[in-house]
Chains A and B, each alone.
Chain A
Amino acid sequence: DIQMTQSPSTLSASVGDRVTITCRASQGISIWLAWYQQKPGKAPNLLIYKASTLESGVPSRFSGSGSGTEFTLTINSLQPDDFATYFCQQYHDYWTFGQGTKIDMK
């Protein structure tokens, strides 16, 4: 199976910061990667698919990049609503999610 490893597990940040989350795949997955945001007690919400395509309605401060085995999610100018947990998911071979990165307030 393809394993997805996110780093860091927790990230402390302030409103206005630029934050970057990394997701590494155990083998190449081309660009078949999605990013989700999840808030406590809620289902995840799709942010980005095909590594860098922004889902409709998602603010443009979110961006994704990468291909192969290394991917990043960047949030420019972190907003209060962005404090949440973020997951990556590969869909190259079945589906595997990362373990999550929680962004909390510094």
Chain B
Amino acid sequence: QVPLKESGPGLVKPSETLSLTCTVSIGSSDSFYWSWIRQVPGKGPECLGFVSPSGGTSYNPSVKDRVTISLVTGKNQFSLRLTSATAADTAVYYCASLKNADYVGWWGQGLLVTVSS
């Protein structure tokens, strides 16, 4: 069973909002911080931020003004919203769990999102 799995549209138009959901099947823990990480093929990953088990958030300054990561109430899910998408946001998006908000313990399988008209 895949511990985390991303879902959402694979194509987003420029200026629109990129929205993804992650379904979690590894249970929960106070040490698991739920994160979104993206990777342009051939480049290093970029962590966009996380939501803590209590709902607190921390975001990468590079996307802070455009990103929201939140828990989905009542479900084993968390979500990503990235507003004003541009071609530079085209990447493979992974949901992941950060151990104590530090390093990545679990990764999803990844979802390619293309921003194009």
Contact = CB atoms under 8 A, between A and B. Distances in A.
Nearest to A99: B44
Interface string A80-106: 000000010101001101111000000
A44 B99 contact: no
Interface residues of B, number: 21
Contact of B61 (A4, A89, A94, A98): A94
The A interface is mostly helix, strand or loop, or mixed, namely loop
A98 B58 CA distance: 21
A44 B45 contact: yes
B45 A34 contact: no
A87 B45 contact: yes
Interface of B: 43-47, 58, 60-62, 94, 96, 99, 101-105, 107-110
List 9 tightest A-B contacts by C-beta distance, closest first: A43-B107, A34-B103, A97-B44, A95-B47, A91-B102, A49-B103, A97-B45, A99-B44, A100-B44
Interface of A: 1, 4, 32, 34, 36, 42-46, 49, 87, 89, 91, 94-95, 97-100
